[in-house]
Amino acid sequence: MTPDFIIVGAGSAGCALANRLSEDPKNRVVLLERGGTDAGPFIQMPAALSYPMNMSIYDWGYKSEPEPNLDGRQVVTPRGKVMGGSSSINGMVYVRGHARDFDTWAQMGARGWSYADVLPYYQRMENAHAGDEGWRGRNGPVHVSRGERWSPLFDAFIKAGAQAGYETTEDYNGYKQEGFGEMEMTVYNGRRWSAANAYLKPAKNRENLTVISGALTQRILFEGKRAVGIEYLKGGELKQIRCSREVIVSASSINSPQLLMVSGIGDAEHLAEMGIEPLVDRKGVGQNLQDHLELYIQQACTKPITLYKYWNLFSKALIGAQWLFTKTGKGASNHFETCAFIRSRAGIEYPDIQFHFLPFAVRYDGKAAAEGHGFQAHVGPMRSKSRGAVTLRSGNPLDPPKVLFNYMSHPDDWDEFRQCIRLTREIFAQEAFAPFRGKEIQPGAHVQSDDELDAFIREHAESAYHPCGTCRMGSPDDPLAVVDPECRVIGVEGLRVADSSIFPQITNGNLNAPSMMVGEKAADHILGKERLAPVNDEPWINPNWKTQQR
C-alpha cells in the first residue's frame, strides 16, 4: 500500500492529525510511533503521573547539556515515547494559552494564527465540562474537567490571591485568563484523557489508517527536493514507506529538528560538520529552543490535610484498588486543582507568571519533603528571553541530539524569578493560609537577599517540561523560519512539521492544549479545507495594566 500521508510521531499533534486526515475514507494514512502501548495503570491513572515520565519504556530519557547558568546542571527533559506521546506522561494540565500569545505569533510572521484564527480550533477539539459559555467547545474529542478540591488548601489558595489584591477568574481558558481560580485537566471518567484516548482510539479501526508502533524513523526520503517517504527501523530491520502526497513530522520539539537535520535540512555548515550532505540550508532548524523553568515554593502545613497522609504503601494500595475498580477517589485527579496567572509588574499587558498549586510538598520525581505535611506552588516566568538550541551530536540518527536550553542566560530572567519567589511568599502569608501555615520549607525564611535567591534559583530551578520553538513558523522570506504559516517546510515540497516545535514563541502555560490545536488546524491546511471562520471575541485585559501590577 502506498499511503497518501505519512505522520511521524503519535503525540499530541500527531494523534489529532491521524484522526482528522483519516476521517475521509479516501485518504490513506500511516502513523509511525517509536514507543508502544499506553495501556496500564501507570499511564491511565491520573495520580500516578510521576511514574511514566521516569520510566524508560515511556520516556526518551533526554537530558540537557550542562547548563552554564545553573551551575552546570544537566536538566532532565522527559518526552513521551508511547502512544499519545508526551500527553501520555504529562501532568494533564490543560491551558490554551493567552489570546495575546497567538496575536504575537501572527505579528512574528505566522499569519492566520492569531487568537481569532485559533479559537475556533480550540472550540472544535474541546469537550469542556465547565467554563465560559460561548468561549468553550462542548462536543469535541478532548475532555477537559475540574477536580473536587477535596483539601481546604485548594480554596485557601484562591482566597489568598484575592486577599493579596489579585483578580479571580471563573475560567482561565475562556474570557479571562488573569487571576486565581480552578485548574483544568485532561481527565475523563477518572482516566488520563491523552491525545491517544481522545483521537487515536476512536480512529484506529478505520481501514484507511495504519498505525506502526516500535518504529524509529531515521530519515526522510527525497526525490530532488520533494519528500516522498521515510526510512525507519523496526525490530532491527531497516524499512521504507513511500507516500503519494505528504510526509508530516510531529515528532516533538527535540526529535522533529533532529529528523530534519539528519535528512539534510538545516544549517549547511553544521550538517557538513556532521558528514551530512545539505539538501536545504535552513539556519533556523533546531534554533529558538524555549521552555518554562519553575521553582517549587514549599510551606509546611500544621494540619493533616495534604496528600502526605496517603504517602505510604497501605494508602497507595487502597487508592490504587479504588481507582482500578471504580475510577474514582484520590487516584482520579492530578491534584493540580487550583492555579493562577498574574502579571509580575505594572506595564505588562497580560500575565507572565503561572502558579500550579499542590496540597503536598513533593518533587516531580515523587520524592516527598522530609518535613511531612506541606503544600507548594510551582511558579515561574512565562516568557523568558533566553533561547537555546537542539543540534546534532553526530550524523547517526540513533545518537540522541544535543539539547542546550541556555536557561537564565538573559539578565531579565533573574529579576523575574526573584519576583516570582517574593510574590509567592506574599500570597502564602495571607490570612487564608493562617490556619494551616507552618514554616517555609523551601527556599527557607533565611533566603532573602538577591544573591541568596539567585543561589537558590541556580540550584533548584526545574524544567516544567514545555520545550518548543525549534522549527519556528514564520514568513517564507524569514531566513530563520523553518515552516510557513501552512506548516510547510520552506525550501522543499511534500513535507510539513506540525507539533510544538513550530511555535514562534512559547505560550502562557502548559503546551499540551496548543500542541493538539496545532494538529487540528494543520489538518485543515493539509487537506486544503477552508479554515474555520475567525471568532473575534475580545479577551479580558486588565484595564489598569499600564499603571498597576494587580
Are 246 and 230 spatial neighbours (Cβ–Cβ below 8 Å)?
no
* Catalytic-residue membership of 410: no
Q: What distance in Å separates the CA atoms of residue 372 and residue 306, rounded to the nearest whole number? A: 9
Is 28 assigned to a binding site?
Answer: yes
Closest by Cα among 20, 39, 28, 371 to 200: 20
Picking from 296, 264, 470, the residue whose alpha carbon sits closest to that of residue 376 is 296
Check whether 14 is labelled as a binding-site residue. Answer: yes
Say whether 389 counts as a known binding-site residue: no
* Triad 389, 406, 481: Cα angle to 5°: 30
Known binder of ligand: residue 43? Answer: no
Q: Does the annotation list 29 as a binding residue?
A: yes
Pair type for strands 76-77 and 62-63: antiparallel
Q: Give DSSP secondary structure letters for 421-462.
A: HHHHHHHHTSGGGTTTEEEEEES-TT--SHHHHHHHHHHH-E
Report whether 392 belongs to an annotated binding site.
Answer: no
* 286 labeled part of a ligand binding site: no
454 is in an annotated binding site: no
496 is in an annotated binding site: no
Query: Is 4 annotated among the ligand-binding residues?
Result: yes
Residue 285, marked binder: no
Query: Would you say 92 and 83 are in contact if contact means Cβ atoms under 8 Å apart?
Result: no
8 belongs to an annotated ligand binding site = yes
* 103 neighbors 536 (Cβ within 8 angstroms): no
| Residue 213 assigned as binding residue | no
Contact between residue 467 and residue 290 where contact means Cβ atoms under 8 Å apart: yes
Of 335, 373, 466, 525, which is the active-site residue? 466
Is residue 249 marked as binding? no
Residue whose C-alpha is closest to residue 109's, from 490, 532, 386? 490
Count of other CB atoms within 10 angstroms of residue 110? 26
In angstroms, rounded to a whole number, what is the distance separating the alpha carbons of residues 380 and 382?
Answer: 6
331 within 8 A of 323, measured Cβ to Cβ: yes
Q: Which residues pair with 241 in a beta bridge?
A: 230
Tell me 52's DSSP state.
Answer: G
451 annotated to bind ligand = no
H-type alpha helices, 77-234? 99-107, 115-125, 152-163, 195, 201-203
90 known member of a binding site: yes
Cα→Cα distances 388→284, 407, 409, Å: 12, 8, 9
Residue 92, annotated as binding a ligand: yes
Q: What is the CA radius of gyration of the chain?
A: 23
**Is 17 part of any known ligand binding site?**
yes
Q: What angle do CA 362, 97, 306 make, to 5 degrees?
A: 20
- 255 labelled as ligand-binding? no
Residue 22 marked ligand-binding:
yes
| Pairing verdict, β 495-497 and 246-249 | parallel
Residue with cell 477535596: 150
10 is in an annotated binding site: yes
Set of cell numbers at residue 398: 540513533
The secondary structure of residue 200, as a DSSP letter, is I
Q: Is 486 assigned a ligand-binding role in the annotation?
A: no
Cα dihedral 311→317→320→325 (10° resolution): -150
Q: Is 21 annotated as a binding residue?
A: yes
Alpha-carbon gap, residue 251 to 95, rounded angstroms: 21
- 480 carries a ligand binding annotation: no
Q: Is 260 annotated as a binding residue?
A: no
Residues designated as active site: 466
Q: Which residues are annotated as a binding site?
A: 4-33, 82, 90-93
Residues contributing to the annotated binding site for FAD: 4-33, 82, 90-93
